[in-house]
Structure 1
Amino acid sequence: MMFEEELKKEKNPAVIRIGNYLKKRAETDTSVKNNLNKENKSLKECWDYVLGEVAKTMYRNGNFGCAAGDDEDLYALAVHYYDEDDIKIEPLPTNMKVEAKMDEDKKEEKTAEIEPKEIQKEKVKRISKSKKDPVDGQISLF
């Protein structure tokens, strides 16, 4: 299946973002454009490769943790997948749960957290100072 057709049928938002990035980059970079047309490559396999590479960064002390990075890191992995002809895709461990959130998703979450449900006005306490007699021992000039 050709890259364009595969991208149109894709449902995963993260894969679509990577696919759209590759498509846009192919408009100005002929090597990327040529690589996207390789018959032995697919967008699904590209995503599997990206997840596998991210999983390697998550594995510590025999357990999988979490990983974070910029979208640019994922895009670079996707470009690398299409560049190299001899990449081997390693299957993810069966006990590994993967959730992909790209920067745009994070921005939306942050916005939702920052906006308060009710705008509360801060109450300001006013302290009135009364004039008192001069402190004991102070000489009055008047």
Structure 2
Amino acid sequence: MASKNENKGTMAFADTIRHYLEKRAEKDVLFAVKFANPSKSVEDCVTYIINEVKKSGCNGFTDDEIFGKAVHYFEESEIEVGNPINCKVVVNHTVELTEEEKEQARHEAMERLCLAEMAKMRKPSQSKPTTEKKTQDVQPSLFDF
């Protein structure tokens, strides 16, 4: 279901749902059996959740409400998923970067900074034109004879 047009927020949402369900399956053997059902997928689960959210008319949900919908999708043998909806999903969790990702981000930031500083140095300096008027050098005389 993932397409080239799918936005990063929706992909992050699907990853968050997948991670939650995998952790739950590790702890709950009965749920693990249902989660392993080959006729179900996380992508369809996300579509189901988005359709349920749209039906509700609400825009904000707690994590527990959304995770509950995900579990419900896998627990029900017959459930209507609905059609995929083109929308943006906001995931409000902190992204944990690996050490490699942090190092890559530092490297890219330093590279951008260096390029910006080099561009400044290459730019010809523009001296401001002087606006002072030249006047005749006249020495005032203290004594007029």
TM range (shorter): 0.5 to 0.7
Unaligned runs of 5+ in 2: 1-9, 95-145
C-alpha separation in 1, matches of 2:61 and 2:44: 20
C-alpha separation in 2, matches of 1:73 and 1:98: 19
**Could you say which residue in structure 2 is the equivalent of 1:46?**
45
Any conservation in 1 of the 2:12–2:91 contact (CA below 8 Å)?
no
Q: Which of 1 and 2 has greater Rg?
A: 2
Matched, 1:79 2:71: yes
Code of the aligned partner of 2:66: L
SS in 2 for 1:35: helix
What TM-score do you get using the length of structure 1 for normalisation? 0.55
Identity %: 27
**Could you say which residue in structure 1 is the equivalent of 2:82?**
90
Code of the aligned partner of 2:11: N
Q: 1 or 2 for the larger relative contact order (CA 8 Å, sep ≥6)? A: 2
Which is richer in helix?
A: 2
C-alpha separation in 2, matches of 1:34 and 1:50: 21
C-alpha separation in 1, matches of 2:47 and 2:73: 10
> What whole-Å deviation, never above 9, does each CA across 1:65-113 have from its counterpart, x for those lacking one?
x5101111111000000000100112256xxx522112316xxxxxxxx
Code of the aligned partner of 2:88: E
Any conservation in 2 of the 1:14–1:100 contact (CA below 8 Å)?
yes
What TM-score do you get using the length of structure 2 for normalisation? 0.54
Code of the aligned partner of 2:41: S
Code of the aligned partner of 1:101: V
Deviating above 4 A after TM superposition, structure 1's stretches of 4 or more consecutive aligned residues are: none
**Could you say which residue in structure 1 is the equivalent of 2:15?**
16
The root-mean-square deviation of aligned C-alpha atoms, in Å, is 1.8
C-alpha separation in 2, matches of 1:36 and 1:55: 24
C-alpha separation in 2, matches of 1:73 and 1:91: 21
> What whole-Å deviation, never above 9, does each CA across 1:6-44 have from its counterpart, x for those lacking one?
xxxxx8111000100000111111122111111110111
